[in-house]
Amino acid sequence: MQLRKIYDQDAERTYHLREPSRTIRADDKIAHHRHAGDVDSGKAWRTVRRPSDMNEYAKEIQEIRAQAGSTKAHGKVFVKVRCLQKLCIPIPQQPTFFTCTLNNGIHFVTTPECPLEPNALIDQEFELIEHGKLAFSLTIKVRKDPHIVDQIRQMATPSPQQFMPAPPPPRPSGLRGLFSSTPKKQPKQALLRRPTPVMEDHLVRYMKADGSIGRAYINFKDIVKRCDTRLFETSYPLVGEWSEDSVRGGVAGVPGSMMSTQVSQRPIGELVLHIFRLPPLPGVPPETLPQSLEECHRGLSAVAWHKKIYYQGLLTQNGGDITSWRRRQFRIIGSNLIAYNDVTGKAIATISLRQALAVEDDQNPLAPGAVPGRRGRDESDAYFSDNRCFRLLFDNDEDIAFYADSEEEKAEWLRILRALVGNIPPHPLWAELVWQRHEQAAAAQALTQQQAQQGHQSQPQQEEETESPPQPQSQSQPSAHQVHSQPMQQPPPQHIQSPRAPTQHPPIQHGQGHKSQPPIPQMWQPRAHSLSPTPTQRGRNPPPPGKQMPPPPAPLPVPRPQAWR
């Protein structure tokens, strides 16, 4: 439009300027497919140019790794208190309830109340932020119900001290008392204390003033390697604290918990814990991270599902990234149907089963309207159907046809594809990053072990070389005595023949040596069209291996030119 305004000022213009009225901008979202330059068409199939293209999160993972150093992230620790078991303290007959409190030095969280039993189920979960000095404690506290308060009052109220007099001594009677001397004055009768009745063992004897009966202490650095991206189940002793007098009933009826006596500790049960550590994942949005132990378990199970090979075989494909029938090697890995090159064995194309709507057998086509968003099958498709052909149906009335080699293979492909289409679990990004982290750690460990084995193998060789250094290879000269004592070796006689006489060859002997000679390998046999036949082709057999070849004949004399005739 600006050019038109400029040129309109010149009225003497003899040509017409045509300018488009709208501007077209390029975009990476291309509507067409099956052509070069198809970067991101949104189709269910795509061409694999590098191994990373097979990962659906390839672009996100590349961006996360690029900004890994610029962002900070903290790991998460999920702790689930499963149950309280092997409780060895007296439990009241009345219903008694308790709580479990987690304290990490900064915050404390208390679980809902649970019934107190020898094996009590808690099943409560906590989430902690990982740091270098992470440690926490779990405390069990009993709720002070009326029957617990009565036991506390009963132990706090001192029992009255009851005394009974000593029995009187027997009096003498009869003649014995008449002739006996005057008895001495007896001291005042001492009052004897009755024994204190033994009190019944109660739960209150093992309780503190705040109602706690035991505590478990967990230092996270002791178990960090066992729970790293995996579920770790363990049990910690529940240690109780009380005074010795409280167990014996106290002194003078006063409970030992109210007296300053020696405090003893011993385990009274076990706490079963499930612990999972999620490592720091910088660049991953916090809202996509798991928020519970159950989500962690589902995510790791899903990524293992997506890495599993479910079926593989040969199929002939038409559609998708190709426009004609082509035979390929296919493999179902997780939610993708991947095609491989027959020569190199590398992945060349992938088809997402997540976007597939249904699987249709050409012999049993789906009814119109069975798949929402698709029209009925054309009548012309029936002419191209076959007994061993089936299709993957996608949105926008697109499909990919496959042809199996046999009816059995077709039935197996249909069974597996129908089980997968529509039942594919989600594939979280954080789980994919954790899986790649495990793969890198396993590869590094394997490389370290291989280098260690090579080091152990090279160490004995170095020791042998150190013990016996190599000597120079020199031919030792024999002594004079050895020279005179050894007989002189005469050279083999050579047959001198006359220049005019024909060459006399030794007779060829055919015996066991020729028969025992191994046959010539097939790959070294002379060809029939060879222009230089071997002695075997001329009708002469080769000499046996034990026979020496005769010396070559002497050359014939060259005739001299004569000046006369």
Element (H, E) at 239: strand 232-243
Task: State the DSSP H helix or E strand holding residue 450, giving kind and residue range, or none if neither.
Answer: helix 429-467
Calculate the alpha carbon distances from 363 to 354, 401, 410 in Å. Answer: 24, 13, 12
Token code pair at residue 136: 């926490």
Lowest mean pLDDT among 261-275, 355-369, 404-418, 479-493: 479-493
d(CA 269, CA 86): 5
Closest alpha carbon to 114 in 91, 93, 98: 98
Say which CATH topology domain 76-156+200-278 has.
Answer: Immunoglobulin-like (2.60.40)
Q: Please provide the DSSP assignment of 330-370 as one string.
A: EEEETTEEEEE-TTT--EEEEEETTS--EEEETTBPPPTTS
Domain limits, the chain: 76-156+200-278, 303-368+382-428
Sign of the four-CA dihedral 509, 513, 516, 517: negative
d(CA 155, CA 205): 8
The band of 248, judged by pLDDT with boundaries at 50, 70 and 90, is very low
What is the Cβ-side half-sphere exposure of residue 344, based on CA atoms within 13 angstroms? 6
The whole-number pLDDT of residue 523 equals 37
Q: What is the mean pLDDT of residues 410-414?
A: 95
Query: Mean pLDDT across the stretch 305-310?
Result: 94
Which residues are within 8 A (CB) of 354 and not within 5 positions of it... i.e. 6 or more apart?
Answer: 44, 335, 424
Record the tokens describing residue 481, joined without a space.
Answer: 């005595």
Average pLDDT over residues 438-443: 87
Q: Per mean pLDDT, which of 243-257, 356-370, 531-545 is the most reliable?
A: 356-370
Cβ distance 433 to 64 under 8 Å? Answer: yes
DSSP-assigned beta bridge partners for residue 109: 102
What is the C-alpha separation between 546 and 523, in angstroms, rounded?
25
Q: Are 370 and 355 in contact (CB under 8 A)?
A: no
Pairing of strands 322-333, 263-278: unpaired
Pair of tokens at residue 2 = 């600006």
Q: Shortest CA distance to 76 belongs to which of 132, 131, 123?
A: 131
Query: How far is the C-alpha of 74 from the C-alpha of 78, rounded, in Å?
Result: 13
| Confidence band of 153 (pLDDT split at 50, 70, 90) | confident
Side-chain-side CA neighbours of 500 within 13 Å: the count stands at: 1
Lowest mean pLDDT among 125-134, 248-257, 270-279, 291-300: 248-257
Joined together, the tokens standing for residue 188 give 């005042």
Into which CATH architecture does domain 303-368+382-428 fall?
Answer: Roll (2.30)
Lowest-pLDDT choice from 73-77, 358-362, 534-538, 542-546: 534-538
Q: What is the average pLDDT across 92-112?
A: 93
On whether the CB atoms of residues 101 and 111 are closer than 8 A, the answer is yes
Nearest to 216 by CA among 242, 234, 239, 235: 239
Cα–Cα distance, 420 to 298 (Å, whole number): 18
Q: What is the pLDDT of residues 375-387, one digit of tens each?
A: 556 555 554 567 8
Two tokens, residue 504: 């006399």
Selection from 235, 241, 268, 212 nearest residue 99 by Cα: 212
524-554 pLDDT, tens digit each: 343 443 333 444 444 444 555 454 555 555 5
How far apart (Å, rounded) are the C-alpha atoms in residues 389 and 280? Answer: 48
User: Which pLDDT does position 258 carry in this prediction?
Assistant: 43
**Per-residue pLDDT, 449:** 87
pTM for the complete prediction?
Answer: 0.62
CA 138 – CA 217 distance, rounded (Å): 7
493-518: pLDDT as tens digits = 444 444 444 444 444 444 444 444 44
Tokens describing residue 43: 């189709």
Highest mean pLDDT among 238-247, 439-448, 541-550, 554-563: 439-448
Q: What is the mean pLDDT of residues 33-61?
A: 64
Does the pLDDT value for residue 558 go beyond 60? no
402, pLDDT greater than 80: yes
- Name the strand (E) or helix (H) holding 232: strand 232-243
**What's the CA gap between 252 and 114, in Å, rounded?**
35
Look at residue 96 in the predicted model and tell me its pLDDT.
93
CA–CA–CA angle 366, 367, 371 (5° rounding) = 70
